[in-house]
């Protein structure tokens, strides 16, 4: 994971929303992977997260790459499942330094994903790549996927499953996130940026909370490239996460 960290922190640019949510997430610029690649470089992000299709056609090596090796559309109903759609070896050939994989804990298909991640993690480590787990509790059994005990559970699943880093939602308070970070142990915790927050200050306050709680950083997508000035937001996030500034300082960065 060191390649993705500065001062032991990292701001990752997530750009798999085209598969996960569809292009309704995109505006007139953000649909374009080339725009996002430039943003990753100019925004000095510590890593970029892409499905293999984007990595194959747009990745230029200037920012450390995480290839997401599973994914689903938002279209199917029923218990969520996403299976491996990119081999670990292929991710390595694309220049990836880590693979990402989503486990829908609580889904009726949870065991398929825990098994698949188990194999992927071992393959990744053999190729000197990190294995990052998106742990998203979902499915009919999950009433509130942001409840503190659910988020802490998600963090712990990442640790137990052997993830080098885990990406989880912000559970609303610094204390709740602290508990999640403690439960993740030596597994780095990245806050999931999530849908666009009402204001930039709201979003940055959450990020500040996550960092205060011990997170290694965040993976941000929509809250950056849906904003009016993605580079400004990138600067703010770096200031806050890497330079450990306050929300106010970060907004002036």
Residue closer to its own copies, measured from CB, 88 or 233 = 88
* Smallest separation, CB 202 to its own copies (Å): 27
* Pair 85, 54: CB distance under 8 Å: no
Residue closer to its own copies, measured from CB, 78 or 195 = 78
Distances (CA, A) of 30 to 69, 73, 235: 22, 18, 18
If phi over 0 gives left and psi between -120 and 50 gives alpha, with beta otherwise, what is residue 39? alpha
* Smallest separation, CB 211 to its own copies (Å): 20
State how far the Cα of 45 lies from the Cα of 63, in Å rounded to an integer: 7
* Smallest separation, CB 100 to its own copies (Å): 13
Residue closer to its own copies, measured from CB, 115 or 252 = 115
167 counts as catalytic = yes
| 229 phi/psi in degrees, rounded to 5 | -130, 85
> What are the helix (H) ranges across the chain?
17-20, 33-42, 52-58, 88-93, 110-126, 148-161, 174-184, 200-212, 222-225, 230-237, 247-252
* Smallest separation, CB 165 to its own copies (Å): 12
- Given 104, 136, 153, 170, which residue is catalytic? 136
Structure token pair of residue 233: 């937001």
Quickly list DSSP for 22-48. Answer: -GGG--TTTT-HHHHHHHHHHTT-SEE
* Pair 217, 241: CB distance under 8 Å: yes
> Which residues of the chain form contacts with its own copies (CB under 8 A)?
16, 18-19, 22-24, 26, 31-33, 51-54, 56-58, 71-73, 75-78, 81-87, 90, 105-108, 110-112, 114-115, 117-119, 122, 137, 139-142, 149, 152-153, 155-163, 179, 182-183, 185-187
- Given 52, 68, 104, 167, which residue is catalytic? 167
* Smallest separation, CB 216 to its own copies (Å): 15
Q: Which residues are catalytic?
A: 136, 167
């Amino acid at each position: 994971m060191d390649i993705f960290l500065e001062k032991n922190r990292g701001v990752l640019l997530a750009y798999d929303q085209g598969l996960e949510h569809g292009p309704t997430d995109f505006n007139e610029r953000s649909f374009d992977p080339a725009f996002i690649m430039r943003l990753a470089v100019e925004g000095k992000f510590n890593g970029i997260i892409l499905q293999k299709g984007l990595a194959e056609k747009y990745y230029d090596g200037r920012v450390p790459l995480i290839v997401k090796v599973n994914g689903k559309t938002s279209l199917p109903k029923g218990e969520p499942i996403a299976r491996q759609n990119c081999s670990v070896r292929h991710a390595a050939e694309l220049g990836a330094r880590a693979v990402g994989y989503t486990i829908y804990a609580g889904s009726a298909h949870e065991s398929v994903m825990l098994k698949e991640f188990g194999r992927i993690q071992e393959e990744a480590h053999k190729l000197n790549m990190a294995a990052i787990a998106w742990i998203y509790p979902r499915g009919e059994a999950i009433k509130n996927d942001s409840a503190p005990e659910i988020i802490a559970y998600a963090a712990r699943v990442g640790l137990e499953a052997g993830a080098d880093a885990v990406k989880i939602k912000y559970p609303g308070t610094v204390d709740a996130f602290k508990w999640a970070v403690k439960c993740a142990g030596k597994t780095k915790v990245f806050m999931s940026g999530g849908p666009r927050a009402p204001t930039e200050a709201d979003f940055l306050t959450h990020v500040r909370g996550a960092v205060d709680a011990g997170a290694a950083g965040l993976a941000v997508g929509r809250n950056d490239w849906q904003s009016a000035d993605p580079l400004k937001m990138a600067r703010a996030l770096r200031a806050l996460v890497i330079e450990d500034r306050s929300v106010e300082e970060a907004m002036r960065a």
